Amino acid sequence: LKPKVPVRRMVFHEITKEAIQRALENTRDLDTDLVDAQETRRILDRLYGYEVSPLLWRKIRPSLSAGRVQSVATRLVVAKERDRMAHVSAQYWSIDTAFTSAGQAFGARVASVDGHAIATGSDFSEKGELSAKAVKAGVLHLDEAAARAYAQALEGAPASVIDSVTRKPYRRRPAAPFTTSTLQQEASRKLHWNASSTMRTAQSLYESGYITYMRTDSTALSSQAIHAAREQATQLYGAEAVAESPRLYGTTSKGAQEAHEAIRPAGDHFRTPGEVAGSLSKQQLALYDLIWKRTVASQMADAVGYTATIRVLTGIEVDGKRHDVLSSASGTVITSPGFRLAYQEGRDQGRYDAEKNDAEKTLPDVAEGDAATLTEATPDGHETQPPGRYTEATLVKTMEELGIGRPSTYAATIQTIGDRGYVTHRGQYLVPTWLAFSVTRLLEENLANLVDYDFTASMEG
């Protein structure tokens, strides 16, 4: 009998000459634990799908499917829709104000009356009532009549004064290099692509040797990549825009195996988007540009500045009673942009984003006790909104946080629940069908352990 030849493997995450040569020179033993984990998932998927799917055929309709990942993803979308259906809207009013001080104009919003904070959307429960916490804090819920009365009194107020000026240091680190899930999320936010389009484009870039392997849950960069990113950032933005020492990133997602490097431009020296523009399609170039910017920015310095808040006190009289009205204006001033010279991370549209005012704007250089003149007071009505539906980006983010599925499965899972008729797309949003409600309820009531959010994550462990 011939002796068994030990299995050795080449490991490379990018299709470049340097990477292949390094892989040949540094072969390693096969990691049988990773192989076993993948085989276990395959077997489990079949035990789950082959046993549960026929139940759906008999009880609901033919050609449906159930799966370890797809059924839980469908349940997430259905649960969000249930929350939306249970939501009761509440109406509330705010008052926007405008002031001039030290010869400069700035906008503000009434923050409190007689020390009681004005209610905002986040102060209401899903039942359309002030939350217990808000009631305990004495939050003031303005209706239309009260808001208009206060606004009218403010416009007739004789004088205002700067009550306080506060400044707090602002520092923000750059985002980590892309993993599969964060690439899908950012491409959804900035390019308005679905997960399938993102992965198809990334696959073509990888196969053409432009980026490293695109199915990964690691944010780590090789020493060659760190050197290339720092070198390019120095050339393009100056040494002062680069972090003093190399930045190392760790992965925090559940069950991350970190079998691959983060997604980055391929090679020991990065090609800029301008250098590759002639050889890439418009879609490929857009994704390469995103990956290149994120990678270079990850090794740059923090963005530094300060957040400033100006509070203006105005005395008014309503129905024969005196009230002290405090208006607040906030802004962020960036004094050293650092990584922002190369890249800024996108944001998901949150429930109360329209009410938040964290924009970067210049506020007047005033001091406590300075006089201020109120030039305008405008009441504005609002209505609380139900929780936002999932987009592909936010669904991927939630699945990653819960440890549901692997990076390589996210796009395929979303594609599957769409093909099976469980969700439809309304713009960027995922809307569950009545079929999804039926399937989810059947599984919740009869096979609850199989659609438990921690089930697939515990199996990964």
Report the pLDDT averaged over residues 186-205: 94
Among 48, 150, 213, 410, the active-site one is 213
> Average of pLDDT values for 329-358?
71
- Domain residue limits at 329: 91-172+303-383
Closest listed residue to residue 163, CA positions, set 400, 324, 15, 299: 324
Task: Kindly list the distances between the CA atom of residue 39 and the CA atoms of 43, 215, 260, in Å, as whole numbers in the listed order.
Answer: 6, 17, 18
Average pLDDT value for the chain: 89
CATH number at residue 440: 1.10.460.10
**Range 228-239 average pLDDT:** 96
Name the residue among 209, 213, 211 with its Cα closest to residue 180: 213
Number of folded domains that form the chain: 3
Contacting residues for 92 by C-beta, under 8 A, at least 6 apart: 119, 120, 121, 124, 141, 142, 143, 381, 382, 383, 384
User: Which of 3-17, 31-45, 89-103 is predicted most confidently?
Assistant: 89-103
Greater pLDDT, 40 or 76: 76
113 and 141 part of one domain: yes
Q: What is the pLDDT of residues 140-166, one digit of tens each?
A: 999 999 999 999 999 988 889 999 999
Residue 394 · residue 401 · CB < 8 Å: no
Closest CA to 204 of 15, 363, 332, 410: 15
Give bridge partners of residue 257 from the DSSP assignment.
none
For range 198-214, the mean pLDDT: 95
Neighbour-count burial of 188, counting CB atoms closer than 10 A to its CB (0-12 exposed, 13-18 middle, 19+ buried): buried
Residue 188 lies in a domain: yes
Output the domain CATH number for residue 282: 1.10.290.10
Residue 264: which pLDDT band, with cuts at 50, 70 and 90? very high
The pLDDT of residue 53 is above 70: yes
The answer to whether 213 is a known catalytic residue is yes
Q: Specify burial of residue 303 (Cβ count, 10 A radius: 0-12, 13-18, 19+).
A: buried
Residue 287 lies in a domain: yes
User: Is the same domain home to 188 and 278?
Assistant: yes
Same domain, 184 and 291: yes
Region 316-322: mean pLDDT is: 91
pLDDT for the residue numbered 354: 34
Tell me the pLDDT tens digit for each residue of 91-115.
999 999 999 998 889 999 999 999 9
30 in a structural domain: no
Query: What's the rounded mean pLDDT across residues 349-358?
Result: 39
Neighbours of 348 (CB within 10 A): 13
Domain boundary among 363, 383, 403: 383
User: Using an 8 Å Cβ cutoff, are 280 and 210 in contact?
Assistant: yes
Domain harbouring 330, CATH code: 2.70.20.10
Which residue among 243, 277, 297 closes a domain?
A: 297
Residues 150 and 185 occupy one common structural domain: no
How large is the average pLDDT for residues 415-431? 94
- Beta-strand ranges (E) seen in 62-195 are 91-101, 104-113, 116-117, 160-172
Question: Which carries the bigger pLDDT value, residue 178 or residue 406?
Answer: 178
- Please tell me the least confidently modeled range out of 161-165, 245-249, 281-285, 348-352: 348-352
Query: Regarding predicted confidence, which is higher, 294 or 255?
Result: 294
- Please, which pLDDT band fits residue 360 given cuts at 50, 70 and 90? low
Could you tell me the pLDDT band of residue 352, with boundaries at 50, 70 and 90? very low
Joined tokens for residue 402: 């819960």
